[in-house]
């Protein structure tokens, strides 16, 4: 099991993984227009942390790091249908936090969570109260009325993965 972070860098293997992830998002997030999913997954400002098992994509999280603001916005998060509720979503989030803190230098994540995913995000340490100062994120992430804005503050030292 691997949790690589990659983006649209032209490397064949990465492109195959990103296409697999885009297909999982399209299936698991039926309210999201497919063109919008492809655009963000392939956008060079976005990165994706993925769960790869036996060379196959099982799920992932696509996010945009705003390095100057030290926060990231999670755009999409999903695990393929027959692999949900086995703990992959939790391990995925832990790898995302570790990478975002140690490689991107981020302190927080924000996301618009679907109503049915709020429970998952709460278990991952997200809250509905936004503590991040508005100046840090205002104008960077746009309002979206299909979900609830949630925040996660990363611990500065905790090892999130082993
Ligand atoms: N609501 C409440 N609790 C949940 C949900 C949910 N939708 N999904 C998982 N959980 C719980 C699990 O029961 C588990 O609890 P436990 O630790 O007490 O046993 C915990 O959250 C973690 O479960 P995992 O097995 O690690 O989660 P999973 O691998 O299933 O991944 C995910 C969670 C990503 C939400 C997955 O179920 C999924 O792809 N769902 C469909 C797509 C979706 O809703 N994505 C999020 C949309 S919002 C966005 O993308 C910004």
For residue 133, tell me if it sits in a domain: yes
- Among all residues, which ones are annotated catalytic? 73
Angle between helices 34-42 and 12-28 (to 10 degrees): 150
* Number of domains the chain is built from: 1
Over residues 57-92, the pLDDT tens digits come to 999 999 999 999 999 999 999 999 999 999 999 999
Ligand 1 near 84 CB (within 6 A) = yes
List, in sequence order, the alpha helices (H) in 49-117.
Answer: 88-99
* Contact call for residues 61 and 98 (beta carbons, < 8 A): no
Q: Token digits for 97?
A: 């936090």
For residue 124, tell me if it sits in a domain: yes
Q: Determine the pLDDT at residue 33.
A: 96
In which domain, by residue range, is 135 found? 5-153
Residue nearest to atom 1 of ligand 1 (CA): 119
For residue 158, tell me if it sits in a domain: no
For residue 162, tell me if it sits in a domain: no
Q: Determine the pLDDT at residue 152.
A: 98
Ligand 1 near 113 CB (within 6 A) = yes
For residue 91, tell me if it sits in a domain: yes
Percent of all residues in the chain with a pLDDT value above 90, rounded to a whole number: 96
The CATH number of whichever domain residue 107 belongs to comes to: 3.40.630.30
Which of 57, 117, 160 for a ligand 1 pocket mutation test, highest count of atoms within 8 Å of Cβ?
117
For residue 54, tell me if it sits in a domain: yes
pLDDT reading at 143 higher than 90: no
Sign of CA dihedral 44, 50, 54, 58: negative
Range with the lowest mean pLDDT among 54-58, 82-86, 138-142?
138-142
For residue 159, tell me if it sits in a domain: no
What is the spatial distance between Cα 15 and Cα 73, in angstroms, rounded to a whole number?
Answer: 22
For residue 17, tell me if it sits in a domain: yes
Percent of all residues in the chain with a pLDDT value above 70, rounded to a whole number: 100
pLDDT reading at 123 higher than 90: yes
pLDDT reading at 142 higher than 90: no
Q: Token digits for 111?
A: 């996301």
Q: Report CA(155)–ligand 1 centroid distance (Å).
A: 21
Confidence of residue 144 (pLDDT cuts 50, 70, 90): confident
How does DSSP classify residue 155? P
């Amino acid at each position: 099991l691997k949790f690589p972070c990659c983006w649209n860098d032209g490397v064949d293997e990465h492109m195959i993984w990103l296409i697999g992830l885009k297909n999982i998002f399209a299936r698991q997030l039926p309210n999201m227009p497919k063109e919008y999913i492809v655009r963000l997954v392939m956008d060079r400002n976005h990165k994706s942390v993925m769960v790869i098992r036996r060379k196959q994509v099982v799920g992932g999280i696509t996010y945009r790091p705003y390095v100057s603001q030290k926060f990231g916005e999670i755009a999409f998060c999903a695990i393929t249908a027959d692999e949900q509720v086995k703990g992959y979503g939790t391990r995925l989030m832990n790898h995302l936090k570790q990478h975002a803190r140690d490689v991107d230098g981020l302190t927080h994540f924000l996301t618009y969570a679907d109503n049915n995913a709020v429970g998952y995000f709460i278990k991952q340490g997200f809250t509905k109260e936004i503590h991040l100062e508005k100046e840090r994120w205002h104008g960077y992430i746009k309002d979206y009325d299909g979900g609830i804005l949630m925040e996660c503050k990363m611990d500065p030292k905790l090892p999130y993965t082993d």
